Structure 1
Amino acid sequence: MTTATVTAAEPAALRAGRHGRRGLNGMKAAPYLWVLPALVLFAIFKLYPIAWSFWLSLFRTDGALQTFTGTANYRRLLTDPLFWKALGNTAIILVVQVPVMLALAIGLAVALNSAVLRFKGLIRLGFFLPMITGLVAYGMLFAVLLNPQSGLVNWFLGLLGADPVPWLTDTLWARIAIGLALTWHYTGYNAVIYLSRLQALPQDHYDAAAVDGAGAWNRFRHVTIPGLRPVILLTLVMSTIGTLQLFDEPFVMTNGGPDNSTVTVGLYLYNNGFKFFDFGYASAIAYALAVIIGILGVVQFRFLREKA
């Protein structure tokens, strides 16, 4: 009787175990089903274009004719003087404008964090508002303001008795004009990031430094800057990536001139792809730019993280 009961019960127990395992497997697979639409969209609109761009970089485009050339486009980059000119222009903006902008952002964040400052919310909003302005819109705004003949800036300088400045027609001043536009647009954004970090720093550190006799400058150098180091790294990497991809401002304000002094890698890529329709070479430029961004990002992370 007992043996028969056990024998009869075994199939049911086995079936229950199988159903339990299936249910458990279904529960494990459920999260992947939820993210599957996002993964499909990412593959269609991100991975596929990236892969197709690399494949396209192996071809030379002559109108509607595409000829497979292997690595010829990448070898062409090494001997293309205009590409190196564009890379040099971009490097100048990166080396000069980005440190100035971040230094101004740190100073602005410290000022906005002051306990004696009134109407903080309104002032912070005022400094952040340039960030929400469209890239093309503010590029056109600066092009009008800095117009050498009829711009408001030169008109104001004339009232002060100064000579007009060839903002957009001189190689040096055109670079300065783009730097001014970038600084106006992004300084407040970075200042808000620094400000959020400053408000999270313990006040005890400042009190201890004050008790030890540290003045305002020493408290800034030994407390504020070390506390800001993680976000300085973040903003430096973000600014580096953004500068290396710079396109809108030189395209709208100077169109790369004068004498190619403001041609950036992003603008040179655009010209090859959509002005000369050499999509193969433009794709090679894009991949070269991606490699440069990756290398600089790794170097910045390793250097500043070791200093932390």
Structure 2
Amino acid sequence: MRRLLNDRAPYLLIAPTVLLLLLFSITPLFVAFVMSFTNMDLAGIANFANVDWIGMTNYLEIFKDEVFLQALSNTVVYVVIGVPLVIALSLSIAIAINFGRGKVFEWFRVVFYMPSITNVVAVAVVWGFLFNPQYGLFNFILNTVGLPDVPWLQDPFVAKLSLILLALWRAVGINMIIFLAALQGIPRTYYEAAALDGANTFQQMFKITIPLLRYAIFFVTVTTLIGWIQFFEEPFIMTEGGPLNSTTSLALFIYQNGFQLSNFGYAAAGSVVLFVLIITVTLIQFRVQKNENPY
């Protein structure tokens, strides 16, 4: 009897977590998938008799929707530009702090980590003043050195870059901490041995540091990609998708159709597309990682 209890104890311990996962993750995914084949709206919520099964209509319509295609294109831009910048910058800062000497580098940990735990609404308000075309700090600095004003949030292309800049500032800190933890797990003796063999700083970086960080880099790449594919807070608060839907992301498109236009079935179809996109990108990354590390 005692052995049976010991065998089942792990399952009992993880049961609450599994139950919460089923209730708040798996069940909503299933409901959204089913809802995507219906015309669910406010009338349907009031009375399920008003809900009709329309099959693949939402999916056929969504890929003809110019706003959705624009949102998909914007999301690709966010991912292609934002993800490499976040990874490169956070890794560079982590390496500089890890190998730096003096109190200033210890303070850098706090300075770079603070934006990632700061309330996004407060951050958006502050950056809104910085981006202001008339009295914003950024244009003031440009005017001081003789350069013209930049329409940070008014030009379709510049607005994307502005949101990426804000998201980059917020995202670097948490990834920096992950890289710092991985860096501190690399024995110093490796670098001492490499220095005795005549390896310079760059050779140590690419022969020791980067290879031994491959799992940390893989983890950060996966989580960062998923985060940028779900890019939402910055365009929602700063631009509401404008100008001319140039900053609308897939997540914002889903929100606008679901919670502003009450087209729940249509929004559910968009969420399923987003889910499939995230799963596909993640599986590709795992496949690439497995091919690089067959053992």
Query: What TM-score do the two structures reach when normalised by structure 2?
Result: 0.90
1:143 and 1:252 in contact (8 A); partners too: no
Distance in 2 between residues matched to 1:232 and 1:26, nearest whole Å: 40
* Mean Cα deviation higher: 235-244 or 189-198: 189-198
Give the counterpart of 2:24 among 30, 33, 45: 45
Distance in 2 between residues matched to 1:105 and 1:159, nearest whole Å: 30
2:82 and 2:228 in contact (8 A); partners too: no
- Which position in structure 1 is the counterpart of 2:262? 277
The CA deviation at 1:201 is: 0.9
Query: What TM-score do the two structures reach when normalised by structure 1?
Result: 0.86
3-state SS, counterpart of residue 61 of structure 1: coil
Give the counterpart of 2:204 among 209, 219, 224: 219
For residues 174-253 of structure 1, the aligned pairs below 5 Å read 174-253=159-238
The CA deviation at 1:39 is: 3.8
Give the counterpart of 1:288 among 270, 273, 295: 273
2:95 and 2:180 in contact (8 A); partners too: yes
Q: Which runs of 5+ in 2 are unaligned?
A: 44-49
3-state SS, counterpart of residue 58 of structure 1: coil
Q: Percent identity?
A: 37
The CA deviation at 1:289 is: 0.7
2:41 and 2:265 in contact (8 A); partners too: no
Tell me how many residue pairs correspond in the alignment. Answer: 287
Aligned-partner residue type, residue 44 of structure 1:
L
Distance in 2 between residues matched to 1:24 and 1:99, nearest whole Å: 51
Q: Which runs of 5+ in 1 are unaligned?
A: 1-20
How big is each residue's C-alpha offset from its partner over 1:118-152, in whole Å with a ceiling of 9 and x where there is no partner? 34332211111111012222122212211112212
The CA deviation at 1:267 is: 0.4
For residues 166-177 of structure 1, the aligned pairs below 5 Å read 166-177=151-162
3-state SS, counterpart of residue 51 of structure 2: strand
Distance in 1 between residues matched to 2:10 and 2:187, nearest whole Å: 39
Aligned-partner residue type, residue 281 of structure 2:
L
Aligned-partner residue type, residue 270 of structure 1:
Y
Give the counterpart of 2:59 among 59, 63, 74: 74
**Higher RCO structure (Cα 8 Å, ≥6 apart):** 2
Give the alignment's Cα RMSD to 1 decimal: 2.0
* Mean Cα deviation higher: 199-208 or 91-100: 199-208
For residues 1-308 of structure 1, the aligned pairs below 5 Å read 21=1, 25=4, 28-29=7-8, 31-61=10-40, 63-64=42-43, 65-308=50-293
Distance in 2 between residues matched to 1:26 and 1:74, nearest whole Å: 49
